[in-house]
C-alpha cells in the first residue's frame, strides 16, 4: 500500500507540474478583481500566473483594485501583448510671484514590461518643458517644449502653443521611467490663466487638448490610460519551438513587437485565450449567430449561413444556386423545360421543326447550366468565396484588384490562341490579352497545382496586389472560374532580360551602364520583397527569363508563381524544391529549407549572366564551363576574371567596376547560405559603385568645379570610408560622406 501511495502522490505532482508547464493555471484561480477580468498568463498567485516570470503576478487589494507592481492600477489585459493601466499626471504649481508651491513628480517601475509605442508624452502649460526619463540597460530621455505668453486659442491642437507632445520610442529593456514638468522662465504674467504646468504619458488618442479648460483645470484629471507591452520569455517563436506556451491546434505564436519574447494569438475563425489549451482557450466562432458583431458572415440571407470549424459556408436549398458576386441564392433556371416537356406529345405531331428547335434550345440551355455549375465549382474550389470575404472585410487597403470571369479571359486571349502566347515555363503559360477597354495585359495560366493550398494562394494574391514597387510587374486581378486560377498582370512590351542577352533581342547590345542599372534595380526589388513588404516574400525562381524590360530598359521582376510568403514568426520554410536548373540554390536543393539566401544565390547567377553574356547552364560549352557559377568562381580564384566578361561591355575605364561586380556575384553564389550577403547589402554595394561611377563621370566633364569641392571626398566601393544606406522602397541610396583629411 505504501508503494501505491507514493506512486499516487508522484502522479499528482507530475500532473500539477505538467498542467503549469503546458500553460494551464490552477482551476481555483481568481478570475476577476472589481470590474477587471484576470486572464492567464497573468494571475494573483504563483499557481495562477505564468510560472517562469514573476512580473505576471497581479494583486487585488481590499478596494477591489487590480494592481500591477506597486505603481499601476490595471484597466484591462490584451492577449496580443498589451497591459492597460492608469498613470498619474506629474505637475508643478506656482504662486503669483513665480515661486514653486506645490508639485508631484511621478516615477514608476514597470519591471519586465516595456513602454508601448502606442503612447504619447505630453506637456501642458505656458513656457513648460516636459521631460521623460527612462532607466535600464540603456538610459533614454525625451523632451517637448510648450510656449505661450497669453491664453492659447487653438482648441484640439497640441501643436506647441500651450501643449506639446511627442511619440514614445524607448529601449525595450527600460525598467523605470519618470515624468517631470519644468517652467523654463519665471514668468508671473501667465499666473492668472496658467498657475500650473503638467507632464504625463498617455495612450494615443486618450488626451484631447482643450485650450480654454486644460491650461487652468487639468489637475481635475489626475490619471490617463497608459499602455505597457508584455511578452513571454526572451526567445523568438523559432527559438522556443514546441516549448511555446501557446495553446494546441487553434492558436499560433508570433514574435513580440517589443523586441524580445513572443505572444500567442488565435487562428482565424477562433477566439478566446490563446495561452490556454483547446478546451479553455481558442474556440470556434459561430459567424452565423446574430449576436456575433465582430466576426460576421457575408451571406445575403442569414438563413443560408452554416457554421463550420474555423469559418462558415452559405448553403442554398434545393433548386437554388449560390451567386458568389453578392453571396445570394438564385433559383436554378430550368422550370420552363418542365413546362415544355409537359406539352411535348401534342406538339410532336403538329410542328416537328419546332420540336427540333426546342430540343436544340434545351440541349444548349443544359450545356450552359452545366458550364455555369462547373465555373461555380472551380470558383469555390479556388477560394473565390474566401477572396470575396477578404476583399469585402477590409483586410486589404487595395480595392483595385479585380476578379475576372472565364468568358472575359477567353475573349481577351481569342480563345487562348497559340499566336497570343508570350512565353511558357515551368510554372505555366503566359498569354497576351486585350480587355474590352482595349488595354493590353499579360494573362498567366498556371499548370495544375495543389488544391489544398487555396488559402495560401489567396493570401499571395492579396499581398502581391498591394506591392507598389516600380520594378515589380503589377498584379491587376485574377480569374477563379477555371480549373486552375488565372493571374492578370500589366503588360511589359520589350521582352525579357534573357531575350536581350541570349535570344531575339540579343542583337540590340546592352551597354555596361544598362547592365549595372538593371542589376541594381533587380537587387533593390529583391531587397524590398525580403525586408520591406508587409509580409516577407521569397521569389524562389529568380532568373533572366523572369526579368521583363520595358521600352526604357527598366527591369520589372515577374512570375511569382513559385513565390512563398514567409510568416513573421519564421526565418525559413521547408518546401518541395522548385526552381530552374542553373539558378537553383544548392543548399536549398539538398535540404529543402527555403530562405531569402536562396534568392541571393539566384541573383548572383543573373549577375554573372549580365557580366559574361553567357547562359547560366549550357551543355554545348566545354566541360569546365557548362555551369556558369563554377566557371566564374575558378576564373576569380585564378585571377583571370576578364576572360569570362562579355567583350561588348569591357573597356579600360570600367575594368575595376566589372571586377567588383564579379566579386559580388561570386559572394552571392557561395555554397553555404550563411556566407552569402543579404540582398539589402548587395543593393547597397551596387549603388555605391554606380554613385562612384557617376561622380567620376561628372568630375571628368567638369574638372574646374571638382577642384572647388575642398574637404569632401567620396571614396570608391573598393575600399573607402563612405557608407551607403539602401532604401529598397524608394529605390535610392543615401551616402554618408566623411570629411576629407
Residues designated as active site: 541
- Beta carbons of 128 and 167 less than 8 angstroms apart: no
**Strand ranges for 243-309 from DSSP E:** 251-255, 262-266, 270-271, 283-284, 305-308
Distance of CA 84 to the CA centre of its chain: 26
What is the residue whose three cell numbers read 506597486? 70
Distance CA 556, CA 416 (A): 25
What is the residue whose three cell numbers read 451567386? 323
| DSSP output for 104-163 | E-EEEE-TT-EE-TTEEEEEESTTEEEEEEEEESS-EEEEEEEB-SS----TT--SSBSE
- Beta carbons of 723 and 692 less than 8 angstroms apart: no
Listed residue (669, 557, 653) closest to 609, CA to CA: 669
| DSSP output for 433-446 | EE-TTS-EEEEEEE
- Beta carbons of 91 and 198 less than 8 angstroms apart: yes
Distance CA 342, CA 348 (A): 11
Helix (H) or strand (E) segment spanning residue 567: none
Q: Which residues contact 442 (CB under 8 A, 6 or more apart)?
A: 422, 430, 431, 432, 433, 473, 488, 489, 490, 491, 492
Distance CA 651, CA 513 (A): 12
Q: How far lies 721's CA from each of 77, 655, 694, 699, 714, in Å? A: 50, 22, 18, 19, 8
Distance CA 167, CA 333 (A): 61
| DSSP output for 170-230 | --TTEEEEEEEEEESS--GGGTTT-SEEEEEEEETTS----HHHHHHHGGG--EEEEEEE-
Q: State the virtual CA torsion across 534, 540, 545, 546 in degrees, nearest 10.
A: -10
Write the Ramachandran bin of 639: left for phi over 0, alpha for psi from -120 to 50, otherwise beta.
left
Residues 20, 21, 22: CA angle, nearest 5 degrees: 90
Q: Which three cell numbers stand for residue 141?
A: 530621455
3-state SS assignment for residue 545: helix
3-state SS assignment for residue 58: strand
Distance CA 177, CA 404 (A): 56
What is the residue whose three cell numbers read 486571349? 413
Distance CA 312, CA 299 (A): 9
Listed residue (16, 28, 19, 23) closest to 56, CA to CA: 23
- Beta carbons of 169 and 132 less than 8 angstroms apart: no
What is the residue whose three cell numbers read 566564374? 632
Residue 289 CB-half CA count within 13 A: 9
Listed residue (594, 514, 500) closest to 547, CA to CA: 500
Q: How far lies 62's CA from each of 33, 46, 55, 69, 71, in Å? A: 10, 19, 21, 15, 16
- Beta carbons of 89 and 222 less than 8 angstroms apart: yes
3-state SS assignment for residue 100: strand
User: Radius of gyration over alpha carbons of the chain, in Å?
Assistant: 34
Dmax over CA atoms of the chain, in Å, equals 117
Amino acid at each position: 500500500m505504501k508503494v501505491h501511495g507514493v506512486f499516487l502522490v508522484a502522479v499528482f505532482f507530475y500532473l500539477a507540474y505538467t498542467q503549469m508547464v503546458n500553460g494551464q493555471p490552477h482551476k481555483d484561480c481568481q478570475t476577476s478583481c472589481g470590474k477587471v477580468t484576470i486572464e492567464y498568463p497573468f494571475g494573483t498567485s504563483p499557481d495562477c500566473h505564468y510560472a517562469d516570470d514573476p512580473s505576471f503576478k497581479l494583486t487585488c487589494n481590499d478596494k477591489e483594485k487590480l494592481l500591477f507592481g506597486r505603481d499601476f492600477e490595471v484597466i484591462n489585459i490584451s492577449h496580443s501583448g498589451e497591459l492597460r493601466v492608469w498613470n498619474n499626471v506629474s505637475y508643478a504649481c506656482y504662486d503669483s510671484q513665480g515661486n514653486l508651491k506645490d508639485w508631484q513628480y511621478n516615477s514608476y517601475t514597470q519591471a519586465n514590461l516595456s513602454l508601448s509605442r502606442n503612447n504619447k508624452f505630453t506637456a501642458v502649460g505656458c513656457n513648460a518643458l516636459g521631460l521623460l526619463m527612462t532607466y535600464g540597460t540603456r538610459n533614454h530621455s525625451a523632451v517637448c517644449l510648450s510656449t505661450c505668453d497669453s491664453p492659447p486659442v487653438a482648441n484640439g491642437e497640441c501643436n506647441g502653443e500651450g501643449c506639446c507632445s511627442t511619440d514614445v520610442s524607448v529601449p525595450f529593456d527600460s525598467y523605470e521611467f519618470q515624468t517631470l514638468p519644468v517652467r523654463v522662465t519665471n514668468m508671473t504674467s501667465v499666473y492668472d490663466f496658467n498657475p500650473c504646468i503638467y507632464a504625463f504619458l498617455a495612450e494615443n488618442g486618450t488626451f484631447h487638448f482643450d485650450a480654454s479648460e486644460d491650461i487652468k483645470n487639468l489637475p481635475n484629471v489626475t490619471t490617463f490610460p497608459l499602455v505597457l507591452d508584455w511578452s513571454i520569455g526572451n526567445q523568438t517563436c523559432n527559438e522556443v519551438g514546441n516549448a511555446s506556451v501557446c495553446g494546441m491546434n487553434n492558436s499560433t505564436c508570433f514574435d513580440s513587437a517589443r523586441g524580445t519574447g513572443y505572444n500567442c494569438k488565435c487562428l482565424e475563425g477562433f477566439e478566446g485565450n490563446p495561452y490556454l489549451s483547446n478546451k479553455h482557450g481558442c474556440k470556434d466562432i459561430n459567424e452565423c449567430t446574430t449576436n456575433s458583431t465582430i466576426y460576421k458572415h457575408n451571406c445575403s440571407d442569414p438563413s443560408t449561413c452554416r457554421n463550420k470549424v474555423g469559418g462558415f459556408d452559405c448553403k442554398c436549398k434545393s433548386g437554388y444556386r449560390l451567386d458568389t458576386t453578392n453571396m445570394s441564392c438564385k433559383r436554378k433556371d430550368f422550370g420552363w423545360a418542365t413546362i415544355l416537356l409537359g406539352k411535348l406529345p401534342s406538339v410532336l405531331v403538329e410542328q416537328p421543326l419546332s420540336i427540333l428547335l426546342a430540343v436544340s434550345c434545351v440541349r444548349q440551355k443544359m450545356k450552359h447550366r452545366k458550364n455555369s455549375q462547373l465555373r461555380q465549382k472551380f470558383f469555390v474550389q479556388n477560394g473565390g468565396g474566401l477572396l470575396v470575404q477578404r476583399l469585402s472585410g477590409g483586410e486589404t487597403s487595395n480595392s483595385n484588384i479585380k476578379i475576372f470571369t472565364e468568358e472575359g479571359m477567353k475573349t481577351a486571349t481569342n480563345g487562348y490562341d497559340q499566336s497570343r502566347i508570350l512565353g511558357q515555363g515551368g510554372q505555366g503559360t503566359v498569354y497576351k490579352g486585350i480587355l474590352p477597354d482595349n488595354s493590353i495585359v499579360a494573362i498567366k495560366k498556371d499548370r495544375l497545382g495543389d488544391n489544398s493550398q487555396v488559402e495560401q494562394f489567396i493570401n499571395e494574391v492579396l499581398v502581391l496586389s498591394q506591392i507598389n514597387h516600380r520594378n515589380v510587374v503589377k498584379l491587376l486581378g485574377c480569374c477563379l472560374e477555371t480549373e486552375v486560377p488565372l493571374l492578370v498582370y500589366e503588360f511589359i512590351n520589350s521582352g525579357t532580360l534573357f531575350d536581350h542577352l541570349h535570344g531575339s533581342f540579343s542583337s540590340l547590345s546592352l551597354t555596361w551602364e544598362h547592365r549595372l542599372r538593371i542589376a541594381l534595380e533587380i537587387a533593390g526589388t529583391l531587397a524590398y520583397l525580403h525586408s520591406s513588404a508587409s509580409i516577407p516574400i521569397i521569389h524562389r525562381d529568380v532568373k533572366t527569363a523572369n526579368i521583363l524590360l520595358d521600352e526604357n530598359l527598366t527591369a520589372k521582376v515577374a512570375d511569382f508563381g513559385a513565390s512563398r510568403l514567409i510568416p513573421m514568426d519564421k526565418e525559413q520554410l521547408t518546401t518541395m524544391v522548385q526552381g530552374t536548373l542553373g539558378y537553383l540554390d544548392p543548399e536549398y536543393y539538398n535540404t529543402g529549407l527555403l530562405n531569402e539566401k536562396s534568392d541571393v544565390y539566384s541573383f548572383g547567377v543573373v549577375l554573372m549572366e549580365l557580366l559574361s553574356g553567357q547562359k547560366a547552364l549550357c551543355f554545348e560549352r566545354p566541360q569546365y564551363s557548362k555551369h556558369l557559377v563554377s566557371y566564374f568562381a575558378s576564373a576569380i580564384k585564378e585571377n583571370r576574371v576578364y576572360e569570362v566578361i562579355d567583350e561588348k561591355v569591357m573597356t579600360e575605364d570600367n575594368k575595376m567596376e566589372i571586377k567588383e561586380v564579379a566579386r559580388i556575384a561570386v559572394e552571392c553564389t557561395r555554397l553555404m547560405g550563411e556566407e552569402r550577403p543579404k540582398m539589402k547589402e548587395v543593393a547597397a554595394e551596387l549603388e555605391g559603385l554606380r554613385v562612384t561611377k557617376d561622380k567620376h563621370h561628372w568630375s571628368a566633364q567638369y574638372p574646374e568645379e571638382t577642384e572647388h569641392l575642398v574637404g569632401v571626398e567620396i571614396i570608391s566601393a573598393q575600399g573607402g570610408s563612405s557608407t551607403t544606406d539602401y532604401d529598397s522602397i524608394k529605390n535610392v541610396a543615401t551616402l554618408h560622406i566623411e570629411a576629407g583629411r
